[in-house]
Structure 1
Amino acid sequence: MPINPRDYDLTHLREMADGPDGDRPDGADRHGQPDPLDAIPNAPESESFRASLYRELMPISRDDTTKPYLSGMPEVQSAEFLIFEWLEYLLLHGGYRGAMEALAYYEDVEWITGSVRSELGEYLMGIDHPAHDGEGLDVDDHLLSLVYVVKLDAMS
């Protein structure tokens, strides 16, 4: 995989999302001005997407930002919906093999534990998916995965 998520911890991503002027998650800075990325009409789509992912991470507070971020699966029913949504996204973009490799990689960089990876792998086996390999996962896909990991951890 081309990026190294090990370089990104939750605190760093929150700082990046906060921006130099203390931008708020609602898209305006502390003075009520719009987000600069939203104001640029020809900004690359990926920059807007990344900015929205950073905004999603900001309001999720954690007292403990040590790795692994997700050490156990939440035992609430709403978590299952989030899990299936995430895994279907990984399948769509990376295929079954890419999704399994991504989960193994997230374990390696300590976003999830081995037991969580095993459970997610079992979920993957139960999802019907097309027999294509997907387009491959990129930086934005991994950032989105981090948002899912943090959201699932917040449900625990």
Structure 2
Amino acid sequence: MNPSAYDLSELRHAAGVHERGGALESVRSETAGRRRGLPPRIRGDEHRDEARYRELLARELELAGDPDPPYLRRLPRTYVGTTTVLDWVDFLVRKAGRPGAREALSFYEQQEWLADPAASSVRSHVDAVDDACDDTDAELSASDHQLSLLYVARLAALNER
């Protein structure tokens, strides 16, 4: 997630910090005393995170204007768009290496998140990444793919602005 792409209230909401009476309070700090003895992440936190993800995705797809697949037909030709693509490529390559990033992009094409022109452009950025990242061979998790879908939605929204 690129923090510069969101306003302060959205970032505070995503971090679980809310403003009350002019003061910032963390939702996590309010509940810390009641949660002693419980694991750091309880089931309610996971549901809240999932709800935030879905809300953010819906907002980005709404901004994109056309929520029909493929969500991203072409890459935006703006500074913010290029920066977002490079952030996404960096994320994919650091997590899964260049081969894993290429595999993920093929998967995203099959899922119709990306059209061929967009996938080819992103793939060319992946191929340009330093060879040192090829040591990574971890597989992407479901949450990694969710983050990729947010990148796709964000890029699609940037095309419409």
Using the size of structure 2 for normalisation, the TM-score is 0.66
**Residue correspondence of structure 1 range 49-68 to structure 2 within 5 A:** 50-60=50-60, 61-62=62-63, 63-68=65-70
- 1:52–1:117 distance in 2 versus 1, CA, 3 Å: same
CA contact (8 A) 2:74 2:115 kept: yes
Q: Does 1:145 align with 2:148?
A: yes
C-alpha distance in 1 between matches for 2:49 and 2:97: 22
Q: Which residue of 2 aligns with 1:77?
A: 79
Q: Does 1:130 align with 2:133?
A: yes
Q: Which residue of 1 aligns with 2:92?
A: 90
Give the structure with higher Rg (CA): 2
Q: Deviation per CA, 1:79-116, whole angstroms, max 9, x where unpaired?
A: 11111111111111111111000000100110001111
Segments of 5+ residues of structure 1 without an aligned counterpart are 1-24
Q: Does 1:26 align with 2:13?
A: yes
Q: Does 1:118 align with 2:120?
A: yes
Identity among equivalent positions (%) equals 25
- 1:155–1:102 distance in 2 versus 1, CA, 3 Å: same
- 1:55–1:75 distance in 2 versus 1, CA, 3 Å: same
**Structure 1 or 2: larger strand share?**
2
CA contact (8 A) 1:94 1:137 kept: yes
**Residue correspondence of structure 1 range 91-110 to structure 2 within 5 A:** 91-110=93-112
Which amino acid is the alignment partner of residue 13 of structure 2? D
Q: 1:43 aligns with which of 15, 31, 41?
A: 41
Please tell me the root mean square deviation across aligned C-alpha atoms, in Å. Answer: 3.1
C-alpha distance in 1 between matches for 2:89 and 2:50: 19
CA contact (8 A) 1:92 1:134 kept: no
Segments of 5+ residues of structure 2 without an aligned counterpart are 1-11, 21-25
**Structure 1 or 2: larger helix share?**
2
